[in-house]
């Protein structure tokens, strides 16, 4: 008798709301297609660049690498040191006092997942709160680690701005020990961040309620600058608030497929830190055993070398400046089209993303009629626009928005 397949009842899952758009984009034969779906920086030629500093670091690393043995469970030590320095600041007392620990992770997502698992194992029963809206994958990552995920108010679609009063009000009512996921800069998907004053107020709320901040720091350097973008994390750490920070170098080094991330946890003491690190290593071991080498070695090599480090900083500055320029162009062209909608907010927002504020039907028309791919929520990746495609994108937006 034939055995029934154990997989027969597995239902079809829907495509991923972001990466599924890329699949549809790749299948589109239109040579003028534009992928504004996924958050990936493209240069003026519409290419995801390999940075010059990365090309040189790869060359040097390949000439130097003399073994393919496993990395330690927590990854490349020099890389982890640089993660801490970039995230917490060169002079951070938390680093000097040995209160911060870092493990190398598979991108920012891997860092969120390891952190989520640590929380569900050692501080169970906490609800995780994410912004409304948040990155499409946040809920899935935390739920997969066993958390209940709720949402606090954040973006006001009418003003295209932060609703700080509602946000701080809701966070101020959370039960002690709740986990609050905060986007350190370049909020994904809205491009709207709290001001410095607002961060300081939030810090007080988080501290007085005894909440656990979990920072998602995927866009360092693409908002206002490397140090400027770290303001919130450093302000919370300075106030002595224990926290988790998931950082990613996917965007800042344009090394998306190398999965270069890190999870840093700032604790109260070196003793606490040692316990946390030991448990993080167990979690990594049970998930992926130990991380891949190449991307982290290349980044460590860049950051260890003053010339390559300076080259990286200048290439990062160029990416940031180009995104800003595209924001301005996009808003200005749309502004000159005589539409009865105001798109000027796009020039004020930061990082890769903004919402167009269009209904899903309009987003689908962009896809079907113009081969312009955005996320259903009408999130667009401004970093995928260039001077050649921006006019066509604006014409298409005009057609579907009016």
Does the N-terminal peptide bond of residue 133 adopt cis geometry, omega within 30 degrees of 0?
A: yes
Decide if residue 18 touches ligand LMR (CB under 6 A). Answer: yes
Query: Within 289-328, which residues bind ligand LMR (CB under 6 A)?
Result: none
- Tell me how far apart the 2 most distant CA atoms of the chain are, in Å: 71
> Tokens 């920086």 sit at which residue?
41
The nearer residue to ligand LMR, 89 or 191, going by C-beta atoms, is 191
Decide if residue 133 touches ligand LMR (CB under 6 A). Answer: no
Number of residues forming the site for ligand LMR (CB under 6 A): 6
| Nearest residue relative to ligand LMR (C-beta) | 39
The nearer residue to ligand LMR, 19 or 321, going by C-beta atoms, is 19
User: What is the nearest approach in angstroms of ligand LMR to the Cβ of residue 15?
Assistant: 13
* Closest by CA position to 251, among listed 322, 160, 307, 179: 322
- The residue from 74, 193, 216, 229 that is catalytic is 216
Select from 34, 35, 36, 39 the one that contacts ligand LMR (CB under 6 A).
39
Select from 58, 84, 120, 188 the one that contacts ligand LMR (CB under 6 A).
188
Decide if residue 261 touches ligand LMR (CB under 6 A). Answer: no
Instruction: Supply the DSSP string of 150-192, one letter for each residue.
Output: EEEE-EETTTTEE-HHHHHHHHTTSPTT-EEEEE-SS-TTT--
- The residue from 129, 135, 199, 312 that is catalytic is 135
Decide if residue 137 touches ligand LMR (CB under 6 A). Answer: yes
Decide if residue 135 touches ligand LMR (CB under 6 A). Answer: yes
Task: Please measure the distance between the N-terminal and C-terminal CA atoms of the chain and give it in whole angstroms.
Answer: 62
For the chain, what's the residue count? 402
User: What is the nearest approach in angstroms of ligand LMR to the Cβ of residue 218?
Assistant: 6
Which residues does 282 contact at the CB level (< 8 Å), separation at least 6? none
Query: Within 19-38, which residues bind ligand LMR (CB under 6 A)?
Result: 38
The verdict on whether 64 is a catalytic residue reads no
Decide if residue 179 touches ligand LMR (CB under 6 A). Answer: no
C-alpha to C-alpha distance for 282 and 292, rounded to whole angstroms: 17
C-alpha to C-alpha distance for 279 and 122, rounded to whole angstroms: 9
Please give the radius of gyration of the chain, using alpha carbons only, rounded to the nearest integer: 22
The verdict on whether 312 is a catalytic residue reads no
- The residue from 163, 251, 312, 350 that is catalytic is 251
User: What is the nearest approach in angstroms of ligand LMR to the Cβ of residue 7?
Assistant: 26
Which residues does 22 contact at the CB level (< 8 Å), separation at least 6? 35, 37, 38, 373
Residue 293 in tokens: 């080498």
The verdict on whether 271 is a catalytic residue reads no
Decide if residue 110 touches ligand LMR (CB under 6 A). Answer: no
Which residues are annotated as catalytic? 135, 216, 251
Binding residues (CB under 6 A) for ligand LMR: these are: 18, 38-39, 135, 137, 188
């Amino acid at each position: 008798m034939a055995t029934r397949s154990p997989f027969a009842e597995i239902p079809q899952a829907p495509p991923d709301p972001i990466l599924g758009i890329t699949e549809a984009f790749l299948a589109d034969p239109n040579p003028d297609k534009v992928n504004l779906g996924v958050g990936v920086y493209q240069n003026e030629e519409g290419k995801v660049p390999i940075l010059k500093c990365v090309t040189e670091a790869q060359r040097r690393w390949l000439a130097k690498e003399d073994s393919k043995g496993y990395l330690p469970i927590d990854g490349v030590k020099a890389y982890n040191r640089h993660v801490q320095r970039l995230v917490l600041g060169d002079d951070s007392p938390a680093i000097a006092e040995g209160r911060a620990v870092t493990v190398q992770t598979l991108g920012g997502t891997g860092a969120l997942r390891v952190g989520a698992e640590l929380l569900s194992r050692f501080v169970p029963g906490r609800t995780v709160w994410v912004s409304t809206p948040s990155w499409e994958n946040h809920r899935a990552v935390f739920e997969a680690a066993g958390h209940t995920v709720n949402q606090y108010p954040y973006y006001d679609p009418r003003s295209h701005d932060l609703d700080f009063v509602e946000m701080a009000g809701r966070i101020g009512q959370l039960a002690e020990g709740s986990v609050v996921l905060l986007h350190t800069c370049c909020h994904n998907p809205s491009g709207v961040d709290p001001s410095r004053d607002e961060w300081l107020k939030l810090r007080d709320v988080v501290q007085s309620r005894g909440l656990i901040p979990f920072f998602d720091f995927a866009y360092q350097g693409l908002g206002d600058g490397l140090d400027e973008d770290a303001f919130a994390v450093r302000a919370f750490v300075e106030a002595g608030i224990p926290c988790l920070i998931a950082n990613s170098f996917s965007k800042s080094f344009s090394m998306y497929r190398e999965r270069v991330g890190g999870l840093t946890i700032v604790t109260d003491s070196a003793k606490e830190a040692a316990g946390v690190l030991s448990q993080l290593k167990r979690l990594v071991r049970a998930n992926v055993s130990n991380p891949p080498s190449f991307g982290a070695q290349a980044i460590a090599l860049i950051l260890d070398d003053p010339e390559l480090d300076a080259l990286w900083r200048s290439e990062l500055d160029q990416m940031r400046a180009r995104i800003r320029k595209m924001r301005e162009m996009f808003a200005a062209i749309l502004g000159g089209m005589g539409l009865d909608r105001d798109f000027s907010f796009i020039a004020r927002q930061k990082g890769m993303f903004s919402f167009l504020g269009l209904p899903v039907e309009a987003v689908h028309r962009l896809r079907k009629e113009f081969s312009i791919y955005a996320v259903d929520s009408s999130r667009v990746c401004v970093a995928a626009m260039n001077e050649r495609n921006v006019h066509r994108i604006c014409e298409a937006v005009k057609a579907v928005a009016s």
